[in-house]
Amino acid sequence: MTKPHILQVGPYPEWDEVPLNEAFTVHRYFDAADKARFLAEVGPSVKGIATRGELGATRAMIEACSGLEVISVYGVGFDAVDLAACRERGIRVTNTPDVLTNDVADLGVAMMLCLSRGMIGAESWVKDGSWAAKGLYPLKRRVWGRRAGVLGLGRIGYEVAKRLKGFDLEIAYSDVEAKPYASEWEYIADPVALAERSDFLFVTLAASVATRHIVGREVIAALGAEGMLINISRASNIDEEALLEALENRTLGSAALDVFEGEPALNPRFLALDNVLLQPHHASGTIETRKAMGQLVRDNLAAHFAGKPLPTPVL
């Protein structure tokens, strides 16, 4: 039986590459030197695209694959996929929700703890001899008993809030509407008002046109010189220029960031700051979760070509 032809947009771990190649005829877009020419050659045979959340699939890529039927995204975010082009052509789109939720929430809370208690600098204080030469490390800020805001109480936001409860934080959240499963936490519809009452503001929104730069100058100003911004969602949810200005001017206390515009080539201004914690977009980066994500990518592709319901459809 002929195996369906798949366009693979970016590399996966070996444990995913091997079974993907066993199940499908795979065309490795990321290895092509001349990508336009490569698409022109293999596009007409491609029935499915396997991509990653940050890589997505552009309209040009979709149009080059004239027989395209399904796009399977390795990641929960699908904003880099041209959904309008998919709708026009009846192309199905899937992602990998749920399997990464808890790991992303874990990293968000870990970043809050790490930055608030100055753990990166404290380790350097020990290793460079400052402890012996200068004495105690400069005092930092506590976490427990303070106020946390969660912007977007979907799967990940809910898990973040559950973890924060264990630190006796006063929790509030903002979303399009109050959530029946979050009755114990305060609902604040306005993100600016949420930021104003928060010491820690977690950004856990799905990215969309509506949420682009939702954390802009007003929200950042409301969070203030003692506040901390933690982003484990998508870079587009934050106005990076406004964020950088506030961090440089100390009108925002600090930021812990796992995502950036143009990553991995992030704005070099971030590298000069001592009030940020920078992470390489690895919130879902555990062996267990990445294996589950890869399996779900393949399960969605296999289900489509077998004519079965998609496990996790977006479109």
- Mean predicted confidence (pLDDT) in 235-261: 98
Give backbone dihedrals phi and psi of 250, rounded to 5 degrees, phi first. 65, 20
Percent of the chain with pLDDT over 90: 98
Q: How confident is the model at residue 132 (pLDDT cuts 50, 70, 90)?
A: very high
Q: Measure the CA–CA gap between 301 and 308, rounded to whole angstroms.
A: 10
pLDDT at residue 96, as a whole number: 96
Tokens (6 digits) for 112: 């809050």
* Angle formed at CA 83 by CA 240 and CA 236, multiple of 5 degrees: 5
pLDDT at residue 197, as a whole number: 98
Tokens (6 digits) for 110: 């870990």
Catalytic residue among 163, 234, 290, 298: 234
Catalytic residue among 5, 281, 290, 304: 281
Whether the full predicted model's pTM is greater than 0.85, yes or no, is yes
* Residue 225 pLDDT exceeds 90: yes
pLDDT at residue 1, as a whole number: 67
pLDDT at residue 94, as a whole number: 98
pLDDT at residue 165, as a whole number: 97
Taking only the tens place, the pLDDT of each residue in 100-115 is: 999 999 999 999 999 9
pLDDT at residue 272, as a whole number: 97
- Helix axis angle for 101-116 and 155-165, nearest 10°, is 50
* Residue 265 pLDDT exceeds 80: yes
Query: Residue 253: which residues within 8 A CB-CB, separation 6 or more?
Result: 223, 224, 225, 226, 227, 228, 275
* Residue 187 pLDDT exceeds 90: yes
Establish whether 281 is a catalytic residue. yes
Does residue 54 contact residue 31 with C-beta atoms inside 8 Å? no
- Mean predicted confidence (pLDDT) in 239-255: 98
The residue with tokens 């503001």 is: 201
> To the nearest whole number, what is the mean pLDDT of the chain?
97
Establish whether 234 is a catalytic residue. yes
Catalytic residue among 17, 69, 241, 263: 263
Establish whether 298 is a catalytic residue. no
Give backbone dihedrals phi and psi of 155, rounded to 5 degrees, phi first. -55, -50
- Mean predicted confidence (pLDDT) in 44-55: 96
